[in-house]
Amino acid sequence: MKNPENYFQSRRTVRRFSGREVPPALVESILERAVKAPTCGNMQLYTVIVTREPARREALAAAHFNQPAAADAPVLLTVCADFNRFTRWCALRGADAGFDNFLSFTSAVADATALTQQIATIAEMEGLGTCWLGTVTFNAPAISKLLRLPELVVPVGALALGWPAEEGEETERLPMQAVVAQEEYPEWSDGEVLRLFKSKEEYAPNMGYVKENGKDNLAQVFAEVRYPRSMNESLSEVFLKYLAEQGFLPEACAAEQK
C-alpha cells in the first residue's frame, strides 16, 4: 500500500494496464471500504456495476469511444446515480416517495461522485491504477442499455481499473488561490484571471496541444477543439432526453407529449 504522505502529491492517472488479473476479492475489499464515503441523508443513492467479462468490457469500451484506458483495463466500474432501489423500498413500506425529479437526481449524482472518487483513492493506495472515464455521460443512453439500467438509475461515474503498465503522465494544476476562496467568491480582474492560468498555459504539453491544433492559445483548444459549443449542446439535448426517459424529468416527458 502506498504511503499516504506521498500519494496525494504524486498521484497520476493511468491509461495503460498490464494483463495481470485484479483479484475479485481485492475489488470487493476496495468497494467495501469505499461505501463509507459521505452520502446524502445516508440513503446511499448509488449502484456500482463491475464489468470483467471480455465481451461485455469490449462493448462497454466501445460506448466510451474506445479510449485507451477503457479498452485496455481488465475491470471497468460504472457508478450509477440510483433512486430506483430507494423508491421501491418506500413503496413496499407504504411511503410516498417523491424522488422522480431533478433535485433528487442531483443528490444521487453527489452520492455517486463521492463514491467514485473514494473507490479511485483506495484502489490507487493499493497499488492499482485508475482512470476516470468522463465519457460516461457523453454516451449515457448506450451505456444504460448495455447495463440494463431501470428507471431512476443513470450512469454518472466510471473508472478503468487495473495494474499499471505505465507510471502515468504528470499533470499541472491551477495555483491554490485560483480554486480556494475565503468567505466569499472573489471578484477577479481580467489580469488576475490571466495570471491564474499562466502556469497552465506555459506547461510544455499544453503548449504542444496549442501548436498541434493550430490555435492561438490553450483556451481555444479547450473551448473550440476538445469541448466545442456544438458538441456540448447536442450532448446536453441527448442527456436531458435520457434523464426524462429514466424518470428524473417528468415535466419534460409531459411537455414532449403535448
What residue segments make up the domains of the chain, in order of their start?
4-162, 176-227
pLDDT of residue 255: 56
Query: Quick check: helix, strand or coil at residue 234?
Result: helix
Determine the Cα–Cα distance for residues 36 and 43; give it in Å rounded to an integer.
12
State the average pLDDT for the chain.
Answer: 94
201 close to 218: Cβ distance less than 8 angstroms: yes
Q: The domain 4-162 is classified under which CATH number: 3.40.109.10, 3.40.190.10, 3.40.50.1010, 3.40.718.10? A: 3.40.109.10
Determine the Cα–Cα distance for residues 133 and 10; give it in Å rounded to an integer.
20
77 close to 35: Cβ distance less than 8 angstroms: no
pLDDT at 245 over 50: yes
pLDDT at 46 over 60: yes
CA 36, 37, 40, 45 torsion: positive or negative?
A: negative
Question: 36: closest CA among 94, 109, 119?
Answer: 119
pLDDT at 106 over 70: yes
Q: State the cell numbers at 54.
A: 471480455
CA 51, 53, 54, 58 torsion: positive or negative?
A: negative
pLDDT tens figures, 19-33: 899 999 999 999 999
> Which residues lie closer than 8 Å to 212 by C-beta, 6 or more apart?
none
Residues 66-86, buried b or exposed e (16+ Cβ, 10 A)? eeebbbbbbbbbbbbbbbbbb
Instruction: Give 41's DSSP letter.
Output: G
As beta bridge partners, residue 76 has: 51, 160
pLDDT of residue 258: 43
Scanning 64-135, the segments in alpha helix (DSSP H) are: 68-72, 84-92, 102-125
Is residue 242 exposed (0-12), middle (13-18) or buried (19+ Cβ within 10 Å)?
A: buried
pLDDT of residue 168: 85
As beta bridge partners, residue 82 has: 153
- What's the N-to-C CA distance of the chain in angstroms? 58
Question: 47: closest CA among 83, 23, 75?
Answer: 83
The percentage of residues in the chain with a pLDDT greater than 90, rounded to a whole number, is: 90
pLDDT tens figures, 170-223: 889 999 999 999 999 999 999 999 999 999 999 999 999 999 999 999 999 999
Determine the Cα–Cα distance for residues 168 and 179; give it in Å rounded to an integer.
24
pLDDT at 252 over 80: no
Question: 130: closest CA among 69, 78, 194, 190?
Answer: 69
pLDDT of residue 23: 98
10: confidence class by pLDDT, cuts 50, 70, 90: confident
16 close to 165: Cβ distance less than 8 angstroms: yes
pTM equals 0.92
pLDDT tens figures, 145-178: 999 999 999 999 999 999 999 988 888 999 999 9
pLDDT of residue 8: 82
